A and B are shown apart, each in its own frame.
Chain A
Amino acid sequence: MEARIESESPDTGQEIGRLEGDEPVARDTVTPRPVSNTPRHAQGHESGIKHVTGRARYIDDLPAPHGTLHAMVGLSQIAHGRVTRLDLDAVRAMPGVVDVIAAQHIPGHRDIGPVFPGDPLFADEEVSYVGQPLFAVAATSYAEARRAVKAAVVEIEPLPPRFDPVAAAEAGEFVRPTHVQVSGDWQQALEGTPHVLEAAQFVGGQEHFYLEGQACLVVPSEDEGVIVYTSNQHPSETQKLVAEVLDIPFHAVTVENRRMGGGFGGKETQAAPWACMAALLARRTGRAIRLRLPRADDTRATGKRHPFHSHYRLGFDDDGVILGGDITLIGDCGHSPDLSEAVVDRAMFHADNAYSLGAARVTGHRARTHTASNTAFRGFGGPQGMMIVERAMDDIARHIGEDPLTVRKRNLYRAGRDTTHYGQHVDQHPLMVEIIERLERSSDYWQRRDAIREFNHRSPIIKRGLALTPVKFGISFTAKHLNQAGALLHVYTDGSVMINHGGTEMGQGLHTKVCQVVARELGIDLASVRISATRTDKVPNTSPTAASSGADLNGMAARDAASQIRQRLLDFAAEHYQFDREGLGLENGKLITDNGASMPAVSWGELIQAAYLGRVSLSATGFYSTPLIHYDRDSGQGRPFYYFAYGASVSEVRLDTLSGEYRVERVDILHDVGDSLNPAIDLGQVEGGFIQGMGWLTSEELKWNDDGRLITDGPATYKIPTFGDLPPIFNVELLEGHPNSQASIYRSKAVGEPPFMLGISVWSALRDALASLAAYRISPALDTPATPERMLMAAEALRAASRDLQETT
């Protein structure tokens, strides 16, 4: 893949200056160059040069107004209890302190729960987790604010905390009601089958570990409001919450985000509290407020990926084909609903992954525990749901003595078995078969399978494992109303174009893709299109940038805006230049006819100037809402997803059964993104998603002490993958030649979340390596993350079980 910046201009300096915007735009009109703007173009990230030169600004890099104060938040040290004393006088007396606030200082809403109530901005009478905000302080420096927080006198009468979600579910302690999906007579299916297996699986949570922590800068405006600069995936919701907390109209609050240093779902709802606190302090002091959480506070105060305790009981025939059964998913939601309703729903929607469950019941519980409120994280419950059925696939295969891949293939959705347990027809299911068959060949699955069995037979200590796992991931917000987006496009008189849309840039390349869409619609080059920070006063009432939907929704909205401009320009040109309207187009920075010939040299810039003088509006808003989707919670049936994205991965591991240490030696991936909007960016999403998913299942372990205090509260103890965890052989390809069957933006497919679940093949390969210790006759239990400790303990258990097996047979 070429990088346009490198190849196009030998004088990179010119190019950089242009992109950076540190030179004024020329008074001459922009002259678009004839470059490839096809949607498949591997354009580099729009901020790439700013990233590598340190010029990309994040929240804490923004220059702050004179007199800006620094805020810090006081957190509960107790998991559950009644606040009997919150004495902040000593805090007020600390050096540099200007203001201190707690719940009673909030003029408006005290509860900022995003969908359902339950998230007090500051805990008032009762605390529900270690790390819950109790108060906030503003001081003249960051260090003073941090020290001042420690001076608070907090007395909390402890109440019994609950940390076990299974016990919570048994006791009916839920943050939201249980939801059930049923298809067919699942009890009959279990009774009438020759084989029934059941097992329980724990899947651990995950800290987002965005490199830029939660941060905001709030500047009081001259009216009653504020301007909020925040590292945030959901500016509109933050606008709403800030306004409600301050008890002012929404139009008094403007929220802006240019980019995030990573989000991954951790800044969808959980970036808002800090903005609300800073806004309160800003209005009270009349001064700008910076609030940036130290890493340990950030890790304790904010929610994680939901840990899940899941259970399956499935009946299947002699070939291992599932006929039906019962799956129960218990999501550990933490202390409040947050987004848990939808997260557990999505886990339920993905408990089938790529397989027909037959006649099945899927039950999802939302357990309440005294930890931070678990939240969105790439995949949004989908990965946890898939884990239970992928576990079942391996277990069934061991039970009937077949290779797990064989059993997986037999269970894939296919003609006659192509409707999910929630009633959605699985469109494009043959793609899954094609991806797996191609990957089997390209990865030499069967030859390696034989070689690995042979190796394991000879090698008593080192064991190798291999697994291929598929991904089928539903695209759309399951909350229907969120499936809408807006855009605002301006063309200025020099021909330069400014596009703004409701999505936020967290590294996923959304802004790059949207610029490509606009450039393509207007037939101009990318350098002529600039994207500005996401702002609630430009595009209002937006949805979070989440659910992989950023490009699908905002790309379509931007396309709508750009095509309106195109229509206006062509209508104008036909009249102004006396051309035949039919067949007029914009391409390569010129007005063209349908035979591709450019008309008597009307360039983009001339056309725009003429249109301006001809009093044509050069600004447009675009809008998009996803068609076709619906879901009925009462019946548990519907079509929640516009389409599915597919992929599969093959992982090979090498395990030392004496220590539990292992390495992932080779990974092969084939992933479906429809007609890619930008293969370079999509490849980056696939690779990055895979490694993040692998980290979730291998080294990223969250641990709490008996008092409910998170003890893995930073990178010293919480281990995300690092450079050496990159598999030495890592073959990643995008599936070509299969456009989306639905009318998505240029027939592309969403790519943010689906590849995350490709990491499941690593876990399955680790189980495969373990299974070799018992001649593949026992399917090993392996909770996640599969740390070296879990691997060693599982290996020891397998060896013992294998001895028992030999003795009894």
Chain B
Amino acid sequence: MIEFFLNGQRQRVAAEANMSVLELLRGPLAKCGTKEGCASGDCGACTVAIADPKDDAETGQPLTYRTANACITPAHQLQGTHLVTIEGIARGHALHPSQASMVACHGSQCGFCTPGIVMSLFALHERQRRTPDAPLDAHGLELTLSGNLCRCTGYRPIRDAALSMGEHADTRPPWADDPALEDEVRRVGSTSFCKAEDQAQRPDQHHYQTPTTLAELIAAMHRHPDAPLVAGATDLWLDVTQQLEPFEMLIDLRQVRELRQIEEDAEGWWIGAALTYREWEPLLAEHYPAFAHLLTRLGSAQIRNRATVGGNIANASPIGDTPPVLLTLDAKLRLAGPDGVRTLPLESFFLDYKQTALAPGECISAIYLPKPEADFQQRVWKLSKRREDDISTLLAAFRWQLKNGVLSDVRVAYGGMAAIPRRVKTVEAALEGRAPNTAAFEAAKQALRDSVTPMSDTRGSSDYRLAAAVNLLERWHLTLDHTGSNSPTQEVALDAYAH
């Protein structure tokens, strides 16, 4: 039995094993307004908004409604949250501004993607209510809506709708009138169904463990050595929806305190492995803008609200976006297991295709990100078939310092070029200690050609990957003349060295 709020109404429902929020809505709860487009988190038709007090525990602010793809969100993760769906935002016949604006701008044609788009606009509207002075520029809108595919409209009327929500009456959903609702949500959210010791008494939760401390987590992993760990579930849940491989047992990381905090020391930060991309974003924006910009091209808002960097690393995909960047930053991992905690350089973590250095019973608990040195410079370039909401064909991460006219501390890493994300030390060696001139970069390019044989797959051919990887070294070289403009926008590439 899970307890949560749906459009302001308390729900206590039995959530079957491996059930998604979408299946719960369209099945037992008979709320069919939320649509299934792909069941893989790629189209956004099933977008819902979830306010989770566990995400906002520290802020003391009103609950924040964040979008998620209901198709790949496990229903159990609704425990103690407020779920808002397309059925819950109008006030009787009076439409919410996100809805009224879509109607007025002719933003729907076939209407199937529309509930998801409206929910993304709803979350945007909530954010704008909270911070009315924050400007909404084209890029901000892209970040909000690029996870919602529409096959009919071509998006122009949806853009107009997003920009004109303020012209409509600020109709609030009926549940917004209830001053006790947020407290109730917080109260239910804190009364965990989830204590490991409770679970023996709750047979319907026998397949779902929700430890709250690292010690409980390690114990749960010991009891259930084959149980996958789940946080955002944005990749794992594809096993259920696409591979039809149900899980007997899952261990949820989202309430493990140690995995959800950031510890700062003199040299850097230990960042909890179960923090989402969204939660990393402020720190990266301040210290590593190029890395922060990469996050905006990783998945969609719905994904970034839920997916974690720990998951991106543990997944050990050759095309994961963050590992190449973290490799160039000399990131370390804190691995927790039955025998305690150890620290491992990220570089030693990836062994072979989908093989990692994790020992049985061990998990990633935190990622260490060193603070940038004074002369630190970085470039991160992602190439993909579509700019937004796409997986890398190729990802290049470069980091260096320019001291006394020569390159030092050069790190070069690529994703999508080999079975694992990896540094290319021959390229680093070709540049280290050299002046950043044509000869040095030509040597680096030759070193790259000699060192890698990229794969061919649906995202790109080996020839393209190699040619582009070499060319990105050339781009790096060209942009070195413009080091003054170390702005994240240059990561979009096109304007960086146009003149």
Q: A residues touching B (Cβ–Cβ < 8 Å)?
A: 1, 3, 5-6, 12-17, 42, 44-45, 47-58, 60-61, 143, 146-147, 150, 208-213, 259-264, 294-296, 458-459, 461-462, 506-509, 654, 656, 658-663, 680-681, 683-684, 687-692, 699, 701, 703, 711-712, 714-717, 719-726, 728, 730, 732, 787-789, 792-793, 796
B103: which of A49, A208, A722 is its contact (CB, 8 Å)? A49
One of A658, A687, A728 near B472 (C-beta < 8 A): A658
A228 to chain B, nearest CB (A): 20
Least Cβ–Cβ distance between A486 and chain B, in angstroms: 24
Residues of the B chain whose Cβ atoms lie less than 8 Å from the Cβ of A724: 142, 146, 387-388
Is B493 an interface residue when CB atoms closer than 8 A count as contact? yes
The 20 listed contacts between A and B (C-beta, < 8 Å) are: A13-B92, A42-B106, A45-B106, A47-B108, A48-B111, A49-B103, A51-B115, A53-B87, A143-B244, A211-B35, A507-B111, A692-B151, A712-B458, A715-B149, A716-B40, A720-B151, A722-B147, A722-B386, A723-B388, A792-B471
CB distance B464 to A461 under 8 Å?
no
Contact A716 B475 (CB under 8 A): no
Q: Do B149 and A211 touch across chains, with their CB atoms under 8 A apart?
A: yes
Chain B residues, CB < 8 A from A54: 31-34, 85-87, 115
Q: How far is the CB of A439 from chain B (nearest CB, A)?
A: 18
Q: In the complex, what distance in Å separates the CA atom of A661 from the CA atom of B38?
A: 27
Excluding A58-B35, A262-B112, A687-B157, 20 further A-B contacts by CB distance (< 8 Å) are A1-B106, A12-B100, A60-B32, A210-B110, A211-B113, A260-B110, A294-B39, A459-B499, A461-B478, A507-B110, A659-B475, A684-B109, A687-B154, A688-B152, A691-B155, A714-B38, A714-B42, A788-B393, A789-B464, A792-B467
B466 CB to nearest A CB, Å: 11
Beta-carbon contact of B153 and A684 below 8 Å:
yes
| Chain A residue nearest in CB terms to B86 | A54
A659 touching B33 by the CB < 8 A rule? no
Residue in B151, B242, B389 whose beta carbon sits within 8 Å of that of A264 in the complex: B151
What are the residues of chain A within 8 A of B45 when measuring CB–CB? 211
Q: Chain B residues near A51 (CB, 8 Å)?
A: 102, 108, 111, 114-115
One of A5, A719, A732 near B386 (C-beta < 8 A): A719
B32 — which chain A residues lie within 8 A by C-beta?
54, 57, 60-61
CB of A594 to closest CB in B, whole Å: 36
Interface residues contributed by chain B, number (CB under 8 Å):
91
- The residues of A that contact B409 with a CB separation of less than 8 Å are none
Contact between chains at A6 and B493 (CB < 8 Å): no
Q: How far is the CB of A54 from chain B (nearest CB, A)?
A: 2
What residue in chain B is nearest A689 (Cβ atoms)?
Answer: B154
Q: Which of B42, B106, B474 has the most CB of A within 10 A?
A: B106
For A45, A54, A150, A692, the residue with the greatest tally of chain B CB atoms inside 10 Å of its CB is A54
Contact B108 A211 (CB under 8 A): no
Find out whether the CB atom of A792 lies under 8 angstroms from the CB atom of B468: yes
CB-CB under 8 A for A53 and B99, given A262-B151, A295-B40, A793-B464: yes
Chain B hits for A5, CB < 8 A: 103-104
How far, in angstroms, from A692 to B108 measured CA to CA in the complex?
A: 15
Q: Would you give the 0/1 interface string for B3-32, flagging 1 where the beta carbon is closer than 8 Å to chain A?
A: 000000000000000000000001000011
Q: Let me know if B154 and A691 touch, CB within 8 A.
A: yes
- Chain A residue at minimum C-beta to C-beta distance from B90: A53
Interface string of B75-102 (1 = CB under 8 A from A): 0000000000111001011110011101
- Which chain B residues border A208 with CB–CB below 8 Å? 151
Set A458, A684, A793: member contacting B499, Cβ < 8 A: A458
Tell yes or no: B390 within 8 A of A by CB: yes
Bitwise interface map of B from 190 to 207 toward A, beta carbon under 8 Å scored 1, else 0: 000000000000000000
B151/A44 in contact, CB under 8 A = no
Say yes or no: B385 contacts A663, CB within 8 Å. Answer: no
| CB of B269 to closest CB in A, whole Å | 31
4 A-B pairs with the lowest CB-CB distances in the bound complex, closest first: A54-B33, A507-B110, A261-B112, A13-B93
Residues of B within 8 A of A723 (CB): 141-142, 145-146, 148, 155, 158-159, 388
- Find chain A residues with CB under 8 A from B154 CB: 684, 687-692, 721, 726
Asked if B118 lies at the interface with its beta carbon under 8 angstroms from chain A, I say yes
Are B37 and A295 interface neighbours, CB within 8 A? yes
Interface centre among A150, A261, A730 (most CB of B within 10 A): A261
Using a CB-CB cutoff of 8 Å, which residues 21-68 of chain B contact chain A? Answer: 26, 31-40, 42-43, 45
In the complex where A13-B93, A14-B93, A54-B34 touch, is A48 in contact with B108 (Cβ < 8 A)?
yes
**With A212-B110, A508-B109, A680-B106 known to touch, is A150 a contact of B461 (CB < 8 Å)?**
no
Contact A52 B102 (CB under 8 A): yes
**How far, in whole Å, are A61 and B40 apart by their CA atoms in the complex?**
19
Nearest residue (CB) in A for B144 is A723
Contact A461-B242, Cβ < 8 Å, known A44-B103, A211-B43: no
Contact B40 A52 (CB under 8 A): no
Select which of B37, B99, B383, B498 is within 8 A of A659 by beta carbon. Answer: B383
Contact B389 A722 (CB under 8 A): yes
The complex places the Cα of A796 from the Cα of B468 at a distance, in Å, of 10
Instruction: Tell me if B146 and A722 are in contact (CB < 8 A).
Output: yes
Contact B475 A787 (CB under 8 A): no
CA distance A261 to B85 in the complex (A): 19
Nearest Cβ in chain B — how far from A569, in angstroms?
33
Per a CB cutoff under 8 Å, which of A16, A61, A661 touches B493? Answer: A661
- Shortest CB-to-CB span from A34 to chain B, Å, is 22
Please give the distance in Å from A116's CB to the nearest CB on chain B.
Answer: 29
- Given A49-B95, A211-B110, check contact A461 B498 (CB 8 Å): yes
Q: Closest B-chain residue to A51, C-beta based?
A: B111
Q: Kindly identify, within residues 347 to 406 of chain B, every residue whose CB is under 8 Å from any CB belonging to chain A.
A: 381, 383-391, 393
Q: How far is the CB of B271 from chain A (nearest CB, A)?
A: 27
Contacting residues, chain A, for B264 (C-beta < 8 A): none
Q: A147 to B118: give the CA distance in the assembly, Å.
A: 34
Q: Does the CB pair A52–B146 fall under 8 Å?
A: no
**A53, B86: Cβ atoms closer than 8 Å:** yes
A461 surroundings in chain B (CB, below 8 A) = 475, 478, 497-498
A620 CA to B475 CA in the complex, in Å? 70
Query: What residue in chain B is nearest A53 (Cβ atoms)?
Result: B90
> Closest approach, in angstroms, between the C-beta of B322 and any C-beta of chain A?
18
**Interface hub of A296, A712, A788 (most chain B Cβ within 10 A):** A788
Q: Provide the bound-state CA to CA distance between A295 and B43, in Å.
A: 11
Question: Which A residues touch B95, using CB under 8 A?
Answer: 12, 16, 49, 52-53
Contact A661 B494 (CB under 8 A): yes
Q: Known A53-B99, A262-B112; judge A687-B35 contact (CB<8 A).
A: no
- B152 and A262: CB pair below 8 A? yes
Task: Chain A residues near B92: list those with CB within 8 A.
Answer: 13
Q: Is B138 close to A, CB under 8 A?
A: yes
B106 interface neighbour in A44, A699, A715, A796, Cβ under 8 Å: A44
A3 in contact with B111 (CB, 8 Å): no
B156, CB-defined interface residue at 8 Å: yes
B263 an interface residue at 8 Å Cβ cutoff?
no
Q: Which residue of A lies closest to B104 (CB)?
A: A3
Which residue of chain B has its CB nearest to the CB of A55?
A: B33
A48 to B386 alpha-carbon distance, docked (Å)? 29
B471 touches A726 (CB 8 A): no
Q: What is the CA–CA distance of A659 and B141 in the complex, to the nearest angstrom?
A: 25
Shortest distance between the CB of B12 and any CB in chain A (Å) = 23
Residue in B closest to A19 when the chains form the complex, CB atoms: B93
CB-based contact A681/B106 at 8 Å: yes
A261 touches B35 (CB 8 A): yes
* B218-259 interface (Cβ within 8 A of A): 242, 244
Give the docked Cα–Cα distance between A146 and B240 (Å).
11
Which single residue of chain A is at the shortest CB-CB distance from B162? A723
B94's partner among A12, A656, A683 (CB-CB below 8 A) is A12
Separation of A560 and B390 alpha carbons in the complex (Å): 50
Q: Given that A6-B104, A461-B498, A730-B156 are contacting pairs, would A13 and B151 also be in contact in the complex, using a CB cutoff of 8 Å?
A: no
| Residues in B neighbouring A13, C-beta threshold 8 A | 92-94
**Residue numbers in B under 8 Å from A60 (CB-CB):** 26, 32, 36
Bound-state CA distance A376–B110 (Å) is 18
| Chain A residues whose C-beta falls within 8 Å of the C-beta of B100 in the assembled complex | 6, 12
Contacts of A150 in B (CB 8 A): 244
